Structure 1
Amino acid sequence: MSNDSILSEKRGPVGLLTINRPKTLNAIDVPTMHALDAALAAFEADDAVRAIVVTGAGERAFVAGGDIADLDSRRGLQHYEQFAEVIHRLFTRFDNCDKPTLGAVNGWALGGGTELLLALDIRLVAEEAKLGLPEITLGLFPGAGGTQRLIRQIPLCRAKELMFTGDQITAAEAVALGLCNRTVPRARLLDETLALATRIAEKSPLVLKLLKRTLRQGLEMPLPAALAHEQAMIGLVLDSDDAHEGCRAFLEKRKAEFKGT
């Protein structure tokens, strides 16, 4: 499936979503958000897709932010209803996706690009890429979940510095902060991200789903409640065929064949 702003294809068990607006450095506008939401929904519903990779078209940008002209076209309530609700719903959908999501950050990830990354599970970044939340320089602040996701993922003082100054950081700095997993030469970025996604896709999709829910839900709980939640969820896992297939495969010294049941 494809359209003008989003390219969607399957690479074996991995779904690849490419934001395809290179002339605008893959800036996100409302039609692009709707197209990305539809493409993600299709992969979520496809049992053959076990992991999802997101990248940007071209070599300059992953997502260089929101479409500024589009943002400037609205005020107050109109922006809230027509843009903010759409982008929050989309990024929350990525955040809550039961399938592992990976970002292949091939260039600038600014504003909404960094905010999208914050909703993905694993982030590989080209060595030349730059990240940042420059909204303050436009008289704005991150409004697509960035203020809240960033302070939950890196130290608060560093998150404030990034948002208060609008400064860009290098790929290496993003890795040092814990914002990205590792840097990769740009020529190998997509291949390495797809290879990692394929490795993850070999695991039980059911167990990955329950693991992601345990992590996501436990993060918002006090530790005693989170530990009790983990205890209940691993009980659910041990009720699955995949858990026992994995144990038997280990004992029989063979590769497990996970079916998601």
Structure 2
Amino acid sequence: MGKNMNMENVTTKVEGPLGVITINRPQQLNALDVPTLEQLEAALAEFERNNEVRVILVTGAGDKAFVAGGDIADLNSRKGLAHYNEFAEVVHRVFRRFEECDKPTIGVINGWALGGGTELLLALDIRLVAEEAKLGLPEITLGLFPGAGGTQRIIRQIPLCRAKELMFTGDHITAGEAVSLGLCNRAVPRDQLWNEATELARRIATKSPLVLKLLKRNLRHGSEMPLGAALAHEQAMIGLVLDSNDAHEGCEAFLDKRAPSFKGN
């Protein structure tokens, strides 16, 4: 597979230490169907294997939508068991793969992020959102509820009462409201969004990829443990970090008053 991938519904490019994944169905407002999800997974797998890529950005094509949701006609074409075995099986696997990725991920929310779009951003590490964007979980208005991990991720990321209001009403919220809830890191004017996202990504890319990997694992596993077990896990993980060359390079660079050069080992 080449440095850049151009699949039917997803494109990728490498910009130095950054890997960019673009969901490329602008006429369908980047709605997610099974082929698109499988291509997202393939793009992520390629960047996971590429040691040059240190941070992964995910965005949508066009200026209207990040991901406007699932493909409703596709959803309506199935009964429950078929949905469970087909779409649901794939979307859960792919979103979990993003959530468990050892490399930092940044959602560049360039427009509508509804339903599956909000569920996808919940699986990404950091989320920058265009000021004009709208977010929400409107599945209840279709006689459904979020089924791509959204019900479980959102109640672990924002207050339960606010999560219930979003899911019970299906209301859309503004970028500013998403930031105030803690769903997104910050809202940015659309014309500054990409520059701000890549500047942040490049800053993160200067850090040790090994330590970022271990930090992400520590946070992910610790969040699922009782506090006592999580603290013991942290204690073990920081000991593991101190066995790395990067940890000592960072300390020595600080003492020498120079910039560190992290190699990832």
The equivalent of 1:117 in structure 2 is 121
- Three-state SS of the structure 1 residue aligned to 2:146 is coil
| Aligned match for 1:187, one of 191, 202, 209 | 191
The equivalent of 1:163 in structure 2 is 167
1:41-190 alignment runs, 5 A limit: 41-190=45-194
- Three-state SS of the structure 1 residue aligned to 2:107 is strand
Q: Distance in 1 between matches of 2:253 and 2:61?
A: 41
Is 1:197 aligned with 2:201?
A: yes
Unaligned runs of 5+ in 1: none
Percent identity, aligned pairs only? 74
CA apart distance, 1:186: 0.4
CA apart distance, 1:194: 1.1
Q: Distance in 1 between matches of 2:192 and 2:13?
A: 19
The equivalent of 1:28 in structure 2 is 32
Letter paired with 1:17: I
- The one-character-per-residue Cα deviations of 1:74-96 (angstroms, maximum 9, x if unpaired) are 11111001100100000000000
CA apart distance, 1:2: 1.2
Is 1:17 aligned with 2:18?
A: no
CA apart distance, 1:111: 0.2
- Three-state SS of the structure 2 residue aligned to 1:59 is coil
Q: Distance in 2 between matches of 1:190 and 1:79?
A: 35
Q: Distance in 2 between matches of 1:217 and 1:35?
A: 27
Letter paired with 2:249: E
CA apart distance, 1:187: 0.7
Q: Distance in 2 between matches of 1:109 and 1:11?
A: 25
Q: Distance in 1 between matches of 2:79 and 2:210?
A: 43
CA apart distance, 1:102: 0.3
Using structure 1 for the length normalisation, give the TM-score: 0.99
Q: Distance in 2 between matches of 1:143 and 1:3?
A: 26
Between Structure 1 and Structure 2, how many residues are aligned?
Answer: 261
- The one-character-per-residue Cα deviations of 1:174-232 (angstroms, maximum 9, x if unpaired) are 00000000010101111111110111011000000000000010001111111110000
- The one-character-per-residue Cα deviations of 1:85-136 (angstroms, maximum 9, x if unpaired) are 1000000000000000000000000000000000000000000000000000
- The one-character-per-residue Cα deviations of 1:143-196 (angstroms, maximum 9, x if unpaired) are 000000000000000000000000000000000000000010101111111110
- Three-state SS of the structure 1 residue aligned to 2:90 is helix
CA apart distance, 1:11: 1.1
Letter paired with 1:208: L
Tell me how large the CA RMSD over aligned residues is.
0.5
Is 1:241 aligned with 2:261?
A: no
Unaligned runs of 5+ in 2: none
1:218-237 alignment runs, 5 A limit: 218-237=222-241
Q: Distance in 2 between matches of 1:174 and 1:65?
A: 17
The runs of at least 4 consecutive aligned structure 1 residues that moved more than 4 Å come to none
Q: Distance in 2 between matches of 1:177 and 1:36?
A: 27
